[in-house]
């Protein structure tokens, strides 16, 4: 188990995490699904998954994220794989451990938990009791399988995300609140990424009550990260970070800005460090090259410290 990320954050240093595992699977030929996103890759493409994790580690990631963003029981059931819930999650975590062993690097392994609804349809959630039980089941299984921490990803409302964060907080591992937002219709205030009528302060303040170790602005467009970090820091005094969405294809059918080059991302990340971010990484669209560029930014920051 690696706890060096906690020591680094306590020292005010910058921790680098990985990029988009799902988008990297897609870039390397795996077809993502609306039912379980990248979740089924753990069943059919475990070796490819381990390769991707290893590439992120070699690029400088100090935390890698197991491919469990889309593996709650209700998602796997909607994809026809409900009976393989345990096996698919075991394989996802195993692929991350394989990559750590293959590289010999001192990296932490995170389990991802999201509130992705079946078919990306927010009307398709199971009833609240079943939904909450699914987050508890996944959080407990990930802890049992030996992950070092939990990343709660695409938290963007108070209702569904509240159930997931409560489940994560109950297992006793450190967990990160991954807040996902973007500019709303007015163009100058932030809303939940898929919740255009919900100011981002609403989920943020509700979810902070579950006491995360880190609040990371994630799956948020790069142009919204600076303001999102400000909003986070107005509400939260602990470590904050950013791992933005670089490629909105597949998650947003309307807005498709070009994917920033690694150097462009690194330049933005320098600003985010100045604004207080102490975790850097990438979400959808972030490749090992992006993570390499972020590692260099983090090293520069460490070098500048007295
Ligand atoms: Zn993403």
Residue 159: per-residue pLDDT? 97
Q: 112 alpha carbon to ligand 1 midpoint, in Å?
A: 12
Sign of CA dihedral 279, 288, 179, 228: positive
List the domain range (segments joined by +) for residue 154.
Answer: 4-304
Residue 256: per-residue pLDDT? 73
Cα→Cα distances 22→69, 156, 213, 304, Å: 9, 19, 24, 34
The CA distance from 68 to 138, in Å, is 9
Residue pLDDT, tens place only, 62-117: 999 999 999 999 999 999 999 999 999 999 999 999 999 999 999 999 999 999 99
Q: 304 alpha carbon to ligand 1 midpoint, in Å?
A: 31
Q: 20 alpha carbon to ligand 1 midpoint, in Å?
A: 6
Q: 250 alpha carbon to ligand 1 midpoint, in Å?
A: 10
Residue pLDDT, tens place only, 255-271: 678 899 999 999 999 99
Q: Domain with 65 in it: what CATH number?
A: 3.20.20.330
Domain count, the chain: 1
Q: 222 alpha carbon to ligand 1 midpoint, in Å?
A: 12
Q: 219 alpha carbon to ligand 1 midpoint, in Å?
A: 4
pTM: 0.96
């Amino acid at each position: 188990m690696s706890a060096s990320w906690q020591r680094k954050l306590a020292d005010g240093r910058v921790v680098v995490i990985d990029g988009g595992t799902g988008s990297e699977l897609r870039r390397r030929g795996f077809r993502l699904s609306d039912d379980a996103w990248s979740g089924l890759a753990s069943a059919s493409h475990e070796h490819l998954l381990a390769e991707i994790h290893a590439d992120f580690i070699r690029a400088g990631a100090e935390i890698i994220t197991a491919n469990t963003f889309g593996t709650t029981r209700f998602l796997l059931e909607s994809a026809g794989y409900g009976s393989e819930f345990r096996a698919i999650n075991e394989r996802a975590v195993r692929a991350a451990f394989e990559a750590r062993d293959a590289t010999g690097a001192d990296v932490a392994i995170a389990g991802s938990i999201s509130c992705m609804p079946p078919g990306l349809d927010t009307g398709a959630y199971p009833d609240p009791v079943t939904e909450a039980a699914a987050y508890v089941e996944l959080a407990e299984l990930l802890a049992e399988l030996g992950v070092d921490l939990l990343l709660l990803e695409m938290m963007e409302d108070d209702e569904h995300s509240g159930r997931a964060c409560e489940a994560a907080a109950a297992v006793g591992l450190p967990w990160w609140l991954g807040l996902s937002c973007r500019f709303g219709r007015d163009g100058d205030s932030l809303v939940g990424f898929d919740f255009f009528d919900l100011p981002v302060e609403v989920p943020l303040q509700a979810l902070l009550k579950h006491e995360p170790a880190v609040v990371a602005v994630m799956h948020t467009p790069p142009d919204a990260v600076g303001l999102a970090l400000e909003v986070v820091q107005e509400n939260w005094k602990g470590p904050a970070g950013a791992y933005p969405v670089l490629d909105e294809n597949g998650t947003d059918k309307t807005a498709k800005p070009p994917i920033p080059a690694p150097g462009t991302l690194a330049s933005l990340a320098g600003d985010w460090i100045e604004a207080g971010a102490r975790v850097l990484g990438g979400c959808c669209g972030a490749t090992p090259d992006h993570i390499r560029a972020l590692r260099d930014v983090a090293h520069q920051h460490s070098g500048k410290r007295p």
